[in-house]
A and B are shown apart, each in its own frame.
Chain A
Amino acid sequence: MSGDIIEAAKFIGAGLAMIGALGAGIGIGLSVQGAVQGMARNPDTYGNLFTSMILGVAFSEAIAIYCLVIAFLMLFVL
């Protein structure tokens, strides 16, 4: 019985951990929005904006990846 509760708590915890991906999604969306608007207004800056956009997306994505790693820890390691 207690094993079942621990098993259930693992899944619930993994699901709750992934809530953090919400913020990263919003952040990635905002940064891509800014970059695409800049590219639309001034197409010559495409290269620079693309590099900065990828970097910004990588930084925000890292937060979502931390959540994912925590979820994986709960599911497969603990």
Chain B
Amino acid sequence: MEKTHKWRWGKNRWIVLALLILTIIAVNIYAPIQPHIQAAAENLSSEPIFTLPVIGDFYLTNTLVATILMDVVIIIIALIVRRAAKKDELAPKGLAGVFEMLVEMLYNMTESTAGKWTKKIFPWFATVLILVLFANLLKLIPGFETIGLLHHSAEGYEAQSLGGNWYTILNSKAEEGGFMVTPFLRGVSTDINFTLALAIIAVTMTQVIGFQANGFRYLEKFFNFRTIFKKPVFGLIDVFVGLLELISEFSKILSFTFRLFGNMFAGMVLMALVAAMLPVFMPAGIMLFELFIGVIQAYVFGMLTMVFMAQATQGHSVEEEHSNA
């Protein structure tokens, strides 16, 4: 028998109302402040963890902590799905079922674009998409970007003890020696190092897959001197187009990096400003919008990786045209 669930507004609306009233009370007791915003990730440790000779000091940043947390979450989910997959059920339940649906959808998408190179391209596509998806959805954790270490700052706020070693920041500018919060966790995608690393991996693997598919003929896409002796004018145009292709490969890294970073960082800034100006109910709506943006950006990042890889596997189109003519 199939059971039909009826959505019960009766109970839920009182919970929403209670939460709203709780927010109003909380905002009146501890008014939110406008946090300090900086583009680079904040350091949690004052001393560098280790130092490399040429590159420099490595600090424990809050995005690094969030990255480790994200990795742990992904590994745990992978183990759960693996255990469910080992049972060899026809229809896995719960989390494993969700991931089967997701992976099947992604695989079909790859197959319709990449054709026979699906098995090569799919792992990169799915890895990038799931990684960015989890990186963007991680901000659902309560206390994200709000709980952290107190540190002295020139333009700080006054702090009040909550008992023990816990303090809260008050919405009044300190005369001198104020405090600011360095959050323990900050969105992974708001660190440009993460997005740049992911972009370099995606574009490099695109070239590798291109070489695997076409051999050294793949380079003809960029350095096309084949037609320049037969038809000088059109050959010159071909050479120029090849150079443009070469430049566009490098600009792919830039656009990958700044698309994800810009979207997520803009979301963080918007969230901080709205939470300081309209603290009741409005941040929830912005948060919903930000989650939507996060999912869309994960989709776009993975999709573009997949499409670029599929394009790299296809041979140079001039040959087919010449053989037809």
A-to-B contact residues, CB < 8 Å: 51, 54-55, 58-59, 61-62, 65-66, 68-69, 72-73, 76-77
**Given A54-B299, A55-B304, A58-B300, A69-B261 contact (CB < 8 Å):** yes
The residues of A that contact B261 with a CB separation of less than 8 Å are 69
Residue of B nearest to A57 (CB): B300
Tell me which of A58, A72, A77 contacts B259 (CB under 8 A). Answer: A58
Chain B residue nearest to A48 (CB atoms) is: B112
**Beta-carbon nearest neighbor of A77 in chain B:** B39
B266 near A68 (CB under 8 angstroms)?
Answer: yes
Question: B137 within 8 Å of A by Cβ?
Answer: no
Contacts of A72 in B (CB 8 A): 39, 262, 265-266, 269
A selection of 28 A-B contacts at a CB cut-off of 8 Å is: A51-B109, A51-B303, A54-B296, A54-B299, A54-B303, A55-B300, A55-B303, A55-B307, A58-B303, A58-B304, A59-B255, A65-B258, A65-B259, A65-B262, A65-B263, A66-B258, A66-B262, A68-B266, A69-B258, A69-B262, A72-B39, A72-B262, A72-B265, A73-B39, A76-B37, A76-B38, A77-B38, A77-B39
> Which of A59, A62, A77 counts the most chain B CB atoms within 10 A?
A62
Interface residues of B in 251-268 (CB under 8 A from A): 255, 258-259, 261-263, 265-266
Expressed in whole angstroms, the Cα–Cα distance for A58 and B269 within the complex equals 21
Q: Which interface residue of A55, A72, A77 has the most chain B CB atoms within 10 A?
A: A72
Q: How large is the interface on B (under 10, 10 to 19, 20 to 34, 35 or more residues)?
A: 20 to 34
In the complex, per-residue mask of B212-240: 1 if CB is within 8 Å of any chain A CB, else 0: 00000000000000000000000000000
| Cross-chain pair count, CB within 8 angstroms | 42
In the complex, are the beta carbons of A62 and B259 less than 8 A apart? Answer: yes
Residue of A at shortest CB range from B269? A72
Interface residues of B (CB under 8 A from A): 37-40, 109, 255, 258-259, 261-263, 265-266, 269, 296, 299-300, 303-304, 307
In the complex formed, the residue of B with least CB distance to A51 is B303
**A51 neighbours in B (Cβ, 8 Å):** 109, 303
CB contact between B39 and one of A54, A61, A62, A76 (< 8 Å): that residue: A76
CA gap between A66 and B38 in the complex, in Å:
17
Residue numbers in A under 8 Å from B40 (CB-CB)? 77
Given contacts A62-B259, A65-B263, A72-B262, 6 further A-B contacts (CB under 8 A): A51-B109, A54-B299, A65-B262, A72-B266, A72-B269, A77-B40
Cα distance A64–B103 when bound, in Å?
Answer: 31
Chain B residues in 8 Å Cβ range of A59: 255
Question: How distant is the Cα of A51 from the Cα of B106 in the complex, in angstroms?
Answer: 12
Q: Using Cβ atoms and an 8 Å threshold, which residues of chain A touch B109? A: 51
Instruction: Report chain B residues within 8 Å CB of A62.
Output: 255, 258-259
Q: Which residues of chain B are within 8 angstroms of A76 by Cβ–Cβ distance?
A: 37-39
Interchain residue pairs A-B with the least CB separation, the first 6: A65-B262, A58-B300, A62-B255, A68-B262, A69-B262, A76-B39
Bound state CA distance, A65 and B296, in angstroms? 15
Complex Cα distance, B40 from A35, in Å, reads 38
* Complex contacts, B299 vs chain A, CB 8 Å: 54
Which residue of A has the minimal Cβ distance to B300? A58
